[in-house]
Amino acid sequence: MDALEILSTGAGMSVQDFGRHGWKRYGVPPSGAMDPHAAAWANRLAGNRDDAPVLELLLQGAGLLVLAARRFAVAGAEAGACIEAWHARTLQPGDRLVFPRNQKGLWTYVAAEGGFDVERVMGSASTYPRGGIGRALRAGDRLAVAGEANFAKVGEGWVAWGERRNYEDPPLLRIWKGPQWEWFDEMERTGFFSADWEVSNHSDRAGYRLEGARMNPPEGEMRSEPVLVGSIQVPPNGLPIVTMRDGPTVGGYPKIGIVDEGSLSWLAQCRPGVRFRMALIE
Amino acid sequence: MKWTPLGPRAVLIEFAEPDPDATRARGRAIQRLLESRGGGDIEDFSIAFDKVLLEFRNGIDHARQSAGWMKKFAALDPLAPAEAALYEIPVRYDGPDLAELAARCGLGVAEFVELHAAPIYDVALLGFSPGFPYLEGLDPRLHAPRRANPRPRVEAGAVAIGGSHTGIYSVESPGGWQWIGRTDVRLFDPSRREPSDEAMFLLRAGDRVKFVPAD
């Protein structure tokens, strides 16, 4: 049953779940929600499994028209919709869910009770636009949901304060040693972990460029090797790039560290201008 | 072989051998082993040249897992017969970088094309984009650095050279390789789903490719 019609896709809109795994050797990145913490909460509020397909919205400008009475939930970045972030409510046909003003963070998640019914490709509903994998969304498209609305459930809900995140104030990001850790000397390591960093404007679902300190990339050519999501690569210009969920599966730049998965969902929500620091997990 | 932990649930194992052919054969054998085993506690794996990345579903004891897997990898017989298909790929050698690159190599265009189309290439790995093959076997006279300014858009089917590799763009994307030709063969087609989603990919690591100049 169609639950939503897309009025506008805004700065960016895609379907995401927790990604496709087992396809890296074909050059296919995992994709999946940039902030799985928020995506999971949107689903829980809607009464779904944590990994059900959700809509992932970038910043602002998205507009959705409700076609079927259903419980909807919003989590992640607050963007001024009639359902506040970290809340759920039952909406009626004709209601509009519009996201006019991004206030904090980058990514907002919208879940519908039952989960969006989107064809799975390689085991996942996640859109990977560069590969032409999954469903690309356009204004006028309709999204179906799986299953019936369960009106016996309480229509409203919210996430406990302790689980809501203030994306303007990220914690210290936890970093594991990267495969080329030994290539970076003591001074480079110290500089890396004492700098205040922020995410550059030239960032997307494939990679986040960091600004804060210019590193001296280590000498020596390396052969391309398999890359893990969260890897912090240092290219010849000395400005680190963190491989995100749509990032390439192989890479040839030295990697000083790997962002821990728990910290990666925080990093994903850091807008340019939000300062953060990183600390090594010993 | 040696291993490096990558966070709480992944390990990178290096299996380089003195002879590059032996390394390649070992990589193929590792891929066959991991594919035949199915998922289990391994969520994903990928192999590039002399390294294999194992990603587990949960946190692992790196030393114990690595020791176990390195033992299995070392016991593989890399000479075991492997399925390797040969694909002939028609190419129109009319890429925007062809003339300049040939000149830089000190070759005429016809000679350059002949040298590029001569070898039977080996698919070292698929990476960069879904189904993009890194092909090994390029004549050293044709090795070329990547473009200083990557193109914002390279079309699917573009045949290109990057360093010591040649490759074929599988989807339209930005790209920094030297673009020398085009093919209509689709290396990645998300609409090919029978008998399984693997059918989307024309090539697999270990396959062989021969370019055939076309008008």
Q: Is the pLDDT of residue B171 over 70?
A: yes
Which residue from B58, B55, B7, B53 is spatially nearest to A176, judged by alpha carbons?
B7
pLDDT for the residue numbered A142: 97
CB contacts, 8 Å: A230 with chain B: 7
Q: Where do the domains of chain B lie? A: 2-75, 86-213
Query: How is domain B86-213 classified at the CATH fold level?
Result: Cyclophilin (2.40.100)
How far from each other are the two terminal CA atoms of chain B, in whole angstroms?
Answer: 47
* Cross-chain Cβ contact A226/B48 below 8 Å: yes
User: Which whole-number Å values give the CA distances from A137 to A72, A126, A164, B84, B138, in the listed order?
Assistant: 19, 12, 28, 39, 41
How far from each other are the two terminal CA atoms of chain A, in whole angstroms?
Answer: 51
From the CB of residue B67, how many other CB atoms can be counted at a distance below 10 Å?
13
Query: How far does CA A54 lie from the centroid of its chain?
Result: 11
Decide if B145 touches A, using CB distance below 8 A: no
C-alpha B2/C-alpha B68 separation (Å) is 12
Q: What is the ipTM of this complex?
A: 0.93
pLDDT for the residue numbered A150: 66
Residue of A177, A179, A249 lying closest to B46 (CB–CB): A249
Which of B3, B6, B37 would you mutate first to test chain A, the one with the most A CBs within 10 A?
B6
Assess whether the region B2-75 and the region B86-213 belong to the same CATH fold.
no
Nearest-CA residue of chain B relative to A178? B6
Nearest-CA residue of chain A relative to B2? A179
CB contacts, 8 Å: A261 with chain B: 7
Of the pLDDT bands very low, low, confident and very high (cuts 50, 70, 90), residue A219 is confident
pLDDT for the residue numbered A282: 84
Query: How is domain A173-280 classified at the CATH fold level?
Result: Cyclophilin (2.40.100)
Please say whether the beta carbons of A50 and A44 come within 8 A.
Answer: yes
Please say whether the beta carbons of A254 and A229 come within 8 A.
Answer: no
CB contacts, 8 Å: A22 with chain B: 39, 43-44
Q: Is the pLDDT of residue B116 over 60?
A: yes
User: Which whole-number Å values give the CA distances from A117 to A53, A112, A199, in the listed order?
Assistant: 8, 10, 33
pLDDT for the residue numbered A275: 98
CB contacts, 8 Å: B126 with chain A: 25-27
Q: What percent of chain B has pLDDT over 90?
A: 86
Sequence letter at residue A58: L
* Cross-chain Cβ contact A21/B43 below 8 Å: yes
| pLDDT tens per residue across span A109-142 | 999 999 999 999 999 999 999 899 999 999 999 9
Beta strands across the sheet bearing A2-9:
A96-98, A62-66, A2-9, A142-144
pLDDT for the residue numbered A155: 59
Shortest CA gap B198–chain A (Å): 8
pLDDT for the residue numbered B81: 67
* Cross-chain Cβ contact A27/B130 below 8 Å: yes
Q: Where do the domains of chain A lie? A: 2-163, 173-280
* Cross-chain Cβ contact A258/B6 below 8 Å: yes
pLDDT for the residue numbered B150: 83
Strands (E), A113-254: 142-144, 157-158, 173-177, 198-199, 207-211, 225-226, 231-233, 241-243, 250-251
Sequence letter at residue B147: R
User: Which whole-number Å values give the CA distances from A155 to A2, A45, A72, A159, B61, in the listed order?
Assistant: 19, 10, 9, 14, 44
What's the DSSP call for residue A224?
Answer: -
More confident residue, A205 or B147: A205
Residue B129, classed as helix, strand or coil, is: coil
Collect all residues from A whose CB is shorter than 8 A from any CB in B: 21-28, 30, 121-123, 128, 130-133, 176-179, 223-228, 230, 248-250, 258, 260-261
Residues A17-52: b if buried by 16+ CB within 10 A, e if exposed: bbbbbbbbbbbbbbbbbbbbbbbbbbbbbbbbeebb
Assigned CATH for B2-75: 3.30.1360.40
* Greatest C-alpha distance within chain A: 64
Of the pLDDT bands very low, low, confident and very high (cuts 50, 70, 90), residue A152 is low
Q: Is the pLDDT of residue A199 over 70?
A: yes
Q: Is the pLDDT of residue B126 over 60?
A: yes
Please say whether the beta carbons of A30 and A206 come within 8 A.
Answer: no
Of the pLDDT bands very low, low, confident and very high (cuts 50, 70, 90), residue A202 is very high
Q: Which residues contact A205 (CB under 8 A, 6 or more apart)?
A: A31, A34, A244, A245, A246
Q: What is the mean pLDDT of residues B98-106?
A: 96
Burial of B151 (0-12, 13-18, 19+ CB in 10 A): middle
Task: Report B:33-62 residues touching A (Cβ under 8 A).
Answer: 39, 43-53, 55
Sequence letter at residue B197: D
Q: Which two tokens stand for residue A49?
A: 């499994």
Residue of B7, B126, B171 lying closest to A228 (CB–CB): B7
From the CB of residue A236, how many other CB atoms can be counted at a distance below 10 Å?
7
C-alpha A246/C-alpha A133 separation (Å) is 11
Q: Which two tokens stand for residue B127?
A: 């990476």
pLDDT for the residue numbered B148: 78
* Cross-chain Cβ contact B173/A178 below 8 Å: no
Shortest CA gap A216–chain B (Å): 20
Q: Is the pLDDT of residue A149 over 90?
A: no
Q: What is the mean pLDDT of residues A246-274?
A: 96
DSSP H helices in A76-194: 186-194
Which residue from A237, A133, A200, A20 is spatially nearest to B173, judged by alpha carbons?
A133
Shortest CA gap A99–chain B (Å): 30
C-alpha A171/C-alpha A149 separation (Å) is 38
pLDDT for the residue numbered A35: 98
CB contacts, 8 Å: B5 with chain A: 176-177
Residue of A25, A27, A179 lying closest to B132 (CB–CB): A27
Strands (E), chain A: 2-9, 13-16, 54-58, 62-66, 70-76, 87-91, 96-98, 107-112, 142-144, 157-158, 173-177, 198-199, 207-211, 225-226, 231-233, 241-243, 250-251, 255-259, 278-280
Q: Is the pLDDT of residue A218 over 90?
A: no
| pLDDT tens per residue across span A15-54 | 999 999 999 999 999 999 999 999 999 999 999 999 999 9
Instruction: List residues bridging with B67 in a β-sheet.
Output: none
C-alpha A145/C-alpha A115 separation (Å) is 6
C-alpha A7/C-alpha A96 separation (Å) is 9
